Structure 1
Amino acid sequence: MKKRLLFSLLVMTSIVALAACGSSEKKAANSSQSSTTSKSTTKTSKEDTTKNKSVKEKVKQTMDGMSVEEKVGQLFMARVPEENQIADIQQYHLGGYLLFDRDMAGKGQSDLKQTIASYQAASQTPMFIGSDEEGGTVSRLSRNQIVSPAFESPQMQYQANGWDGITQDIDRKAQVFKELGIQIGMFPDADVSTDPQSFIYDRTIGMDAAGTSKYVTLSVDEMKKQNIGSTLKHFPGYGNNRDSHVEIVTDDRSLDDLRQNDFLPFEAGIKAGADSIMVSHNIVQAIDDKRPASISKPVHDTIRKELGFKGVIMTDDMDMAGLANFISQEEAGLQALQAGNDMILSSSYSTQIPYILAAIQKGEYSEKQLDQSVERLLTWKANLGLL
């Protein structure tokens, strides 16, 4: 009996020892994994800090070497003029060129690539080159057969291949952009539109606020992975309103309605890390019943303070009737900056830039605000690898 008891005690002691050993090994393994994760996180954090420091240094160095005239020029992403494309880059120190159909007419990929390269070679500060490539009815590259097959609309992509189709489409656009030297895609369209009769419907994903938010998030995520600049448009959202390309548009929806629906995709895009927001020319009565959104300070305060956006804010094209029929181009350019825009999309830069420079001299637009906008723009350029 004593022998059996002694044997049982020995067995139990061995089991406890083995268990303790296993526990120690497990703790050691967990400790090792924790240490590896910690090192990986620390490494990533250090890399991010180094990158941010490098970006800040590049931006500061670039700004330190700029005159006021050069800084003001950076605020303009211009329509490519029909003449003097190179001379205007140098004379007005333009921040970027936005490509339209006429800039691609009769050109193949190789021709367009060489043209874009000539713009960059002429510019002292590397330029943004942007293109409207929502797909479907708004695709400059597709309409000029520079890409084949054509980029389809978000709705067509989704109907054919679901959310994977959206991702694959952006990947394809990114490869074409990189080949040509384009850095900014003027998309995704964050407008919530469910009425097939509304002018903006075909350009959107055609879903409610939740579906549009998912589309925007997916698009911005993929564009960031591909290092292509993203633009959420057209704040605060067209909804089912009329077309401000051809007339002054008044939006009479309540602020609660905008917050519960139209703001949501913009908030989703901001959370995903969108680079810029384009502001429409609609007069949004619930926020500012006197001015188009693109030149309204209350609208821009909503973007900065309520939505918490820290990136680049830009106007929609200033040649559109929704603004051009409301105010002169010169005054529109100045008021856009006073309202809080960082970048102006315009073909009237040759008169707007001198007007803004005069306003700086008169104290109507401060150099402090100018520097804040230029810093945002150059930071974006640095993040895209232009600086």
Structure 2
Amino acid sequence: MTFSLEQDARAVILPAFDTLDVAEVMIPFLEKGGCSLLIGETRAEYVARAMSAERLAVETPELFRASIDRLRSVCPQLIVAVDQELGGIQRLEGIAPPLPSLAEAAGLTDEALIERCRLNAAAARDLSVTMFLAPIADVVDGQNPWLRGRTMGSDPQSVARLAAAFVTGVQSAGITAVTKHFPGFNDLAGDPALVDISLKSAREHILQNSLPFRAAIAAGTKAVMTGPAPVIAFDAQDAASTSAAVIGLLREEFGFKGLIVSDDLDAPATLRGRTLLETAIASINAGADLLLVGGGSHLGTLCDGIAAAARIGRISAERLAEAADRVRRNTARH
């Protein structure tokens, strides 16, 4: 089947919303070629690493499923992503059985942990979810306000074991695991979502801490998310999600062949003074396939801008088509 540039431009966008009330924006997006959304959390929930009392009081499995089914009537193979992190944010809190705590997970055998993750993912599939933006494979051995309360430890081997079990368990239930945030952000002085910040760690240290990414790839993770800030050891100018050097490392040295998902392109450390459209173009050109952006009425303009960039050669039409094809192949697995 042949797709237009406009359809490809929408296929590579993962719009994020903090509400289930998304039909007004999403239906036109899906009708023109979009095929993904992230059902996320509010900033307050993100900071608290927990869903709000107000959300827990009103959100039911039936309400959640009905909201997605309305979109599925337009796009039957819709990718529905959530943050469902072992030890971090769990967007499905209150409507799906919880993942084990980190302390509990550390005491489980691999087989028991895989099964606990599978049960959580099976419940998510019943809610029409298809993708977890997890596990977090970053090994934090310094400060990191962005990932505080979300990571799985400071020992690479321990985190690697948990990440591999998580990937194996959730994917056995039909959920795509998106291992994040490559190449690993062990020490950041600020939150990339709030300030323009860079990772200053040495290349050797970053690679030593990368064992969880290698373990997740060996376990078959279908997707990897790149990080939202520059990694000076590889590319001092561009954030990992817009860096050909970082994405090339993932493809070549780490041998990853699957779907590459950007982190939030709206983050100051990713934008670095550019417009969202310029940043999206840079991310596609660098090799990312699915671009995470805030959802809203601007989606049509953003996607039309991406298509126009491909039309005049600012993006290779072949690169855009390759990215869109990887996304559509993920939808076909549902």
Q: Normalising by structure 2, what TM-score?
A: 0.86
Is residue 2:328 matched to residue 1:378? Answer: yes
For 1:319 and 1:141, the matched residues in 2 are separated by 24
Query: What does residue 312 of structure 2 align with?
Result: 362
For 2:105 and 2:211, the matched residues in 1 are separated by 20
Q: Secondary structure at the match of 2:292?
A: strand
Corresponding residue to 1:318 among 261, 265, 286: 265
For 1:308 and 1:137, the matched residues in 2 are separated by 27
Structure 2 unpaired stretches of 5+: 43-50
User: Contact 2:86–2:135 at 8 Å: present in 1 too?
Assistant: no
Corresponding residue to 2:248 among 274, 296, 301: 301
For 2:143 and 2:115, the matched residues in 1 are separated by 25
Corresponding residue to 1:146 among 81, 95, 111: 95
Deviation (angstroms), 1:68: 2.2
Specify the code of the residue in structure 2 equivalent to 1:87.
I
For 1:248 and 1:358, the matched residues in 2 are separated by 28
For 2:143 and 2:107, the matched residues in 1 are separated by 19
Deviation (angstroms), 1:147: 3.4
Is residue 2:205 matched to residue 1:253? Answer: no
Deviations 1:238-296 (A, max 9, x none): 113232122112111121222222x2211111111111110111111110011111111
Q: Secondary structure at the match of 2:265?
A: coil
Deviation (angstroms), 1:334: 0.8
* 1:331–1:196 CA distance, 2 compared to 1 (3 A): closer
* 1:325–1:197 CA distance, 2 compared to 1 (3 A): closer
Deviation (angstroms), 1:313: 0.6
* 1:375–1:239 CA distance, 2 compared to 1 (3 A): same
Counterparts of residues 247-286 of structure 1 (less than 5 Å): 247-261=195-209, 263-286=210-233
For 1:207 and 1:257, the matched residues in 2 are separated by 13
Query: What does residue 71 of structure 1 align with?
Result: 8
Deviation (angstroms), 1:221: 1.7
For 1:96 and 1:247, the matched residues in 2 are separated by 27
User: Contact 1:249–1:281 at 8 Å: present in 2 too?
Assistant: no
User: Contact 1:190–1:234 at 8 Å: present in 2 too?
Assistant: yes
Query: What does residue 33 of structure 2 align with?
Result: 93
Specify the code of the residue in structure 1 equivalent to 2:322.
Q
Is residue 2:66 matched to residue 1:114? Answer: yes
Is residue 2:155 matched to residue 1:208? Answer: yes
For 2:290 and 2:86, the matched residues in 1 are separated by 24
Specify the code of the residue in structure 2 equivalent to 1:96.
S
Corresponding residue to 1:185 among 100, 117, 132: 132
Is residue 2:191 matched to residue 1:243? Answer: yes
Deviations 1:339-366 (A, max 9, x none): 1100001125333211111111111111
For 2:9 and 2:211, the matched residues in 1 are separated by 33
* 1:244–1:114 CA distance, 2 compared to 1 (3 A): same
User: Contact 2:31–2:74 at 8 Å: present in 1 too?
Assistant: no
User: Contact 1:89–1:122 at 8 Å: present in 2 too?
Assistant: no
Q: What number of residue pairs does the alignment pair up? A: 315
Deviations 1:1-40 (A, max 9, x none): xxxxxxxxxxxxxxxxxxxxxxxxxxxxxxxxxxxxxxxx
Q: Secondary structure at the match of 1:101?
A: coil
Higher share in helix: 1
Deviations 1:155-211 (A, max 9, x none): 233256465663343123212211101010111111012458754242122141111
Q: Secondary structure at the match of 1:341?
A: coil
Counterparts of residues 5-24 of structure 1 (less than 5 Å): none
* 1:379–1:193 CA distance, 2 compared to 1 (3 A): same
Q: Normalising by structure 1, what TM-score?
A: 0.75
For 1:204 and 1:293, the matched residues in 2 are separated by 19
Counterparts of residues 212-227 of structure 1 (less than 5 Å): 212-227=159-174
Q: Secondary structure at the match of 1:230?
A: strand
Q: Secondary structure at the match of 1:129?
A: strand
Deviations 1:120-176 (A, max 9, x none): 1122x621001001045411121xx3236x4454x2332564656633431232122
Query: What does residue 129 of structure 1 align with?
Result: 80
For 1:244 and 1:151, the matched residues in 2 are separated by 27
Is residue 2:233 matched to residue 1:233? Answer: no
Query: What does residue 291 of structure 1 align with?
Result: 238
Specify the code of the residue in structure 2 equivalent to 1:205.
M
Structure 1 unpaired stretches of 5+: 1-63
User: Contact 1:200–1:240 at 8 Å: present in 2 too?
Assistant: no
Q: Secondary structure at the match of 2:235?
A: coil
Corresponding residue to 1:167 among 114, 118, 124: 114
Specify the code of the residue in structure 1 equivalent to 2:302.
Q
User: Contact 2:39–2:80 at 8 Å: present in 1 too?
Assistant: yes
Tell me how large the CA RMSD over aligned residues is. 2.4
Q: Secondary structure at the match of 1:140?
A: coil
For 1:322 and 1:344, the matched residues in 2 are separated by 15
